[in-house]
């Protein structure tokens, strides 16, 4: 929101200079992003009249002008501007004047003396480019300082408003805030009802009352085609960043800036029949004022006549019904559109307007008619004509429910002792209607304050007006007690430390991913879709971390990093039909060498078992189980489902060759993804006596069918292990000469030890016999000769 300080001070004029006013607004929550002068500093520049001129004798493009500067004597000034002429009133810099980067001195120009300089807007610092002198109105008083005449001591404020403060998108809204913050008197411009003449009416039908709860309009006939926008209005519009177009359009823009209510004017001669406020029809189009032809969607609200859409409601008018310099009859529209109906439509078609910016955030539905009357008054004063009666269609307007503000609650939240009298005074400064009983205030928010909905909103208002600087910054006082931390739970920091110690680097990737990733890597054809994606390749929420990890791998590989070990802890998203889940997962990827290139060990590519060892070490002393299974992202013969305490917690495997080729990787990567919550459960260490007696090791080699899983064998043997067996593990797998086709040889290490005595040969053999029996009876295993 950009506005002129002098315009603001016509409504409220606190005893503060520009910098102090800027500070007060910023501390009240209306951040002043920029405060800049309208014109650079200069002096001794006055309004002058060119009395006569003649060609310079020695220069074809120069004129010798006789100029009246209101000082009683005529000055001779040499000027080269193409638009200089007798009778022109222009700015004149006198000798000694200081212009931006220039000091005016008495000089000779091609032998002719010149006692000043006639100025353009560019030379005054009012424009970046200009084609000639700045021509002033014929009634500009000569000798008057140009700074005073053009109000150049004004300053421009630019507010950086938060989305909830739509009431401050107008001069009146800002003036209300200034009055409330500073306590200055507020003088709102009087708006009288324009008397109805014989201009008639136009049939208006609001087919969608929920989308347009209030619609006001009136016919104005007999506008003078040659009417000109007054300089004071043009000046105020330009200082708010809006260029002048024609008087009717300028007035609608002026009222929008002043009142905060966007308006629109239709050329009556271009309207066929009456007006309708309805949603667009299938295939309907409209040519907007910016010459953009828009294909309308059924959820877009339009203002239409019998021939079709004339305007995109609340966003932009149509070219077919636009007001031009030759327009004599208009229909002036002022409406309140539901913010939810307008929101997002402009961005969808690539259009952003001052009207849509305000309607999206909400305008004052109680001032719809007031703004229409204000605009009508200005049109009749500036353009002439005759106004018809106001046509108003009103349905159910937004309800402003009372809010109960508890004084004691406000004191507790703010930490300061605000008396009831102070609270009442602050609420009155905000022009809020309220009643008070026993320290409870029943406050009804005004129609223009959409941001006031609950009690804490009012408490925030009290803090703003009381002044944040007046709230003492007290150090917090609290008992610092260490919270209990269960030994059976480990935090994510320990998991991160472990992975970093094993040469992994943490990455953080977007939760928004490409839909193709979900289909390829998760087999998810119906991912959680975003209604408003920030990019086409980030249109859905991820249900797996694999996509982001592969994207990081490709990014690094393309920059010649041939060894990548990364992990990520993040949320995944699944579900639908309002039943969403957001599990936390740990994902990792290894690519390239198992170890960094070195002289002491030959280079070896990382494989499935390297990563499997990392996961087993991460979960130690708990044991992970790995069952061969298929996953959409992984190689069908090199993938496994990971189990912990009998429950599936994730996957590990090598990237599927299909995706390796699609994502342009010369070799495959090993990846894993585990649920985070099971990893955070830790087994509490238990004391066990360390034996003083020597252990006994026996190796047991058996031949089994190829299809028998090693994990199944280990689980079966462990179920029947004698107490003396302290460790059982596989240390060799053999296929080949001496082993029948379709079978394999598995060699196990059996470690036995007793804490009370040395084991005898009979006890050792009895334990081995028990293991052999399990292998023979349950798995049809035979001892290898």
Distance CA 88, CA 266 (A): 37
Mean of the per-residue pLDDT values for the chain? 91
What's residue 688's pLDDT? 81
Angle at which helices 455-466 and 420-429 pack, to 10 degrees? Answer: 90
What pLDDT sits at residue 199? Answer: 82
How would residue 479 be classed by pLDDT, with cut points 50, 70 and 90? confident
Could you identify the residue written with the tokens 């401050």? 168
Per-residue pLDDT at 685 exceeds 90: no
pLDDT in tens, 602-659: 899 999 999 999 999 999 888 899 999 999 999 998 999 999 988 999 999 999 999 9
Cβ count near 17 (within 10 Å): 11
Q: Computed over its alpha carbons, how large is the radius of gyration of the chain?
A: 41
Separation of CA 621 from chain center: 46
Q: Name the token pair of 326.
A: 């030759």
Structure token digits, residue 375:
């605009």
Task: Report, as an integer, the average pLDDT of 75-82.
Answer: 90
Q: How far apart are CA 400 and CA 755, in angstroms?
A: 80
405's tokens: 């503000």
**Per residue in 403-422, pLDDT tens?**
999 999 999 999 899 999 99
Specify the pLDDT at position 475: 83
What digits encode the pLDDT tens for the residues 336-360? 999 999 999 999 999 989 999 999 9
* Percent of the chain residues past pLDDT 70, beyond the cut: 99
Residues 6+ apart with CB under 8 A from 175: 8, 11, 12, 186, 188
List helix spans (H) across 594-664.
Answer: 608-619, 657-662
Torsion angles phi and psi, residue 673, rounded to 5 = -150, 125
d(CA 248, CA 524): 57
Average pLDDT over residues 76-84: 90
Give the span between the Cα atoms of 267 and 275, in whole angstroms. 12
Annotated binding site for Mg(2+): 451, 457, 460-461
Q: Reply yes or no on whether the pLDDT at 578 is more than 80.
A: no
pLDDT value of position 518: 92
Q: Is 465 exposed, middle or buried (0-12, 13-18, 19+ CB in 10 A)?
A: buried
**Peptide bond between residue 342 and the one before it cis (omega within 30 degrees of 0):** no
Strand extents, DSSP E, 572-669 = 574-576, 579-581, 584-591, 624-628, 634-644, 647-655
Phi-psi region at 60: left, alpha or beta (left = phi > 0; alpha = psi -120 to 50): alpha
Q: Is 357 exposed, middle or buried (0-12, 13-18, 19+ CB in 10 A)?
A: middle
Read off the pLDDT of residues 246-279 as tens digits, 9 standing for 90 and up. Answer: 999 999 999 999 999 999 999 999 999 999 999 9
Residue 744 token pair? 């394999």
- Would you say 67 and 51 are in contact if contact means Cβ atoms under 8 Å apart? yes
Backbone φ and ψ of 17, nearest 5°: -80, 180
Furthest CA-CA distance within the chain: 135
Q: Which residues contact 413 (CB under 8 A, 6 or more apart)?
A: 456, 459
pLDDT at position 48, please? 93
Task: From 260, 29, 253, 258, select the one nearest 160 (Cα to Cα).
Answer: 29
How distant, in Å, are the alpha carbons of 432, 612, 633 from that of 653? 66, 9, 9
Q: Which residue has the tokens 């007031």?
A: 370
Which three-class secondary structure state does DSSP give residue 550? Answer: helix
DSSP 417-470: ---HHHHHHHHHHTT-EEEEETTEEEEE--TT-TT--SHHHHHHHHHHHH-GGG
Q: What is the pLDDT of residue 738?
A: 87
Q: Under the phi-then-psi rule, with left for phi > 0, alpha for psi from -120 to 50, and beta for the rest, what region is 726?
A: alpha
Domains and CATH numbers, the chain: 2-38+154-182 (3.30.56.10), 45-149 (2.40.50.140), 204-394 (3.50.40.10), 403-470 (3.30.56.10), 492-679 (3.30.930.10), 696-783 (3.30.70.380)
Q: How is residue 422 written in tokens?
A: 């102070």
- Dump pLDDT digits (tens) for 709-758: 888 899 889 888 888 899 999 999 999 888 989 999 999 999 999 988 99
Can you say which residues are annotated as belonging to the binding site? 451, 457, 460-461
Strand pairing class (564-571; 505-506): parallel
Confidence band, pLDDT 50/70/90 cuts, at residue 577: low
What is the C-alpha separation between 491 and 507, in angstroms, rounded? 18
Q: What is the pLDDT of residue 368?
A: 94
Token duo for residue 705? 């069918």
Helix, coil or strand: residue 538: helix
- Segment 563-577 shows an average pLDDT of 90
């Amino acid at each position: 929101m950009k506005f002129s300080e002098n315009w603001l001070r016509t409504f409220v004029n606190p005893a503060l200079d520009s910098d102090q006013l800027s500070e007060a607004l910023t501390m009240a929550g209306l951040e002043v992003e920029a405060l800049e002068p309208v014109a650079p500093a200069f002096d001794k520049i006055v309004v002058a009249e060119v009395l006569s001129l003649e060609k310079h004798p020695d220069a074809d493009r120069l004129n010798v002008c006789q100029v009246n500067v209101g000082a009683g004597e005529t000055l001779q000034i040499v000027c080269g501007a193409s638009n200089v002429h007798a009778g022109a009133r222009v700015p004149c810099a006198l000798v000694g004047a200081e212009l931006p980067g220039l000091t005016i001195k008495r000089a000779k120009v091609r032998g002719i003396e010149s006692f000043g300089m006639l100025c353009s807007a560019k030379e005054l610092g009012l424009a970046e480019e200009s084609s000639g002198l700045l021509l002033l109105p014929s009634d500009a008083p000569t000798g008057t300082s140009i700074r005073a005449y053009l109000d150049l001591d004004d300053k421009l404020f630019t507010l950086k408003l938060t989305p909830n403060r739509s009431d401050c998108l107008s001069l009146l809204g800002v003036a209300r805030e200034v009055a409330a913050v500073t306590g200055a008197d507020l003088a709102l411009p009087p708006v009288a009802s324009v008397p109805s003449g014989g201009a008639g009416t136009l049939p208006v039908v609001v087919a969608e009352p929920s989308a347009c709860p209030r619609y006001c309009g009136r016919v104005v006939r007999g506008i003078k085609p040659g009417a000109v926008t007054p300089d004071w209005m043009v000046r105020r519009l330009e200082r708010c960043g809006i260029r002048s177009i024609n008087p009717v359009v300028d007035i609608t823009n002026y009222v929008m800036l002043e009142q905060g209510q966007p308006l629109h004017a239709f050329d009556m001669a271009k309207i066929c029949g009456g007006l309708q406020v309805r949603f667009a029809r299938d295939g309907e189009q409209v040519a907007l004022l910016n010459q953009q032809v828009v294909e309308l969607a059924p959820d877009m609200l339009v203002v239409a006549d019998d021939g079709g859409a004339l305007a995109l409601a609340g966003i932009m008018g149509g070219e077919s019904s636009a007001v031009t310099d030759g327009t004599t009859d208009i229909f002036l529209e002022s409406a309140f559109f539901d913010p939810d109906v307008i929101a997002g439509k402009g961005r969808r078609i690539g259009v952003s307007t001052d009207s849509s910016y305000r309607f999206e955030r909400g305008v004052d539905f109680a001032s719809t008619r007031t703004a229409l009357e204000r605009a009508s008054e200005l049109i009749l004063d500036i353009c002439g004509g005759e106004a018809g009666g106001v046509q108003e269609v009103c349905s159910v307007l937004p309800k402003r429910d009372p809010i109960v503000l508890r004084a004691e609650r406000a004191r507790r939240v703010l930490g300061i002792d605000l008396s009831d009298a102070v609270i009442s005074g602050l609420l009155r400064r905000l022009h809020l209607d309220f009643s008070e009983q026993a320290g409870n205030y029943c406050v009804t928010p005004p129609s223009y304050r959409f941001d006031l909905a609950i009690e804490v909103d009012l408490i925030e208002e009290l803090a703003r007006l009381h002044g944040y600087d007046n709230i003492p910054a007290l150090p917090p006082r609290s008992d610092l007690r260490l919270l209990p931390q269960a030994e059976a739970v480990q935090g994510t920091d320990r998991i991160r430390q472990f992975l970093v110690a094993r040469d992994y680097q943490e990455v953080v990737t977007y939760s928004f991913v490409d839909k193709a990733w979900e289909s390829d890597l998760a087999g998810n054809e119906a991912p959680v879709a975003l209604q408003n994606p920030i990019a086409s390749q980030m249109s859905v929420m991820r249900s797996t971390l694999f996509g982001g990890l592969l994207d990081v791998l490709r990014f690094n590989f393309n920059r010649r990093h041939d060894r990548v070990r990364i992990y990520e802890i993040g949320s995944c998203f699944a579900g639908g039909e309002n039943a969403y889940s957001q599990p936390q997962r740990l994902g990792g990827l290894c690519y390239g060498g198992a170890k960094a290139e070195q002289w002491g060990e030959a280079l070896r590519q990382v494989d499935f078992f390297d990563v499997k060892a990392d996961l087993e070490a991460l979960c130690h002393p708990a044991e992970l189980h790995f069952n061969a299974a298929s996953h959409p992202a992984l190689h069908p013969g090199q993938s496994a489902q990971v189990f912990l305490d009998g429950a599936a917690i994730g996957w590990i495997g090598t990237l599927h060759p299909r995706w390796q080729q699609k994502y342009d990787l010369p070799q495959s990567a090993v990846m894993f993804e585990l649920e985070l919550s099971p990893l955070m459960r830790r087994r509490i260490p238990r004391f066990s006596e360390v034996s003083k007696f020597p252990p006994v090791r026996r190796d047991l080699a058996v031949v089994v069918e190829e299809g028998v899983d090693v994990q199944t064998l280990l689980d079966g043997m462990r179920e029947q292990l004698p107490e003396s067996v302290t460790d059982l593990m596989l240390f060799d797998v053999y296929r080949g000469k001496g082993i029948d086709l379709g079978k394999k040889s598995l060699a196990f290490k059996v470690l036995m030890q007793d804490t009370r005595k040395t084991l005898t040969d009979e006890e050792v053999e009895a334990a081995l016999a028990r293991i052999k029996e399990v292998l023979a009876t349950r798995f049809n295993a035979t001892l290898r000769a």
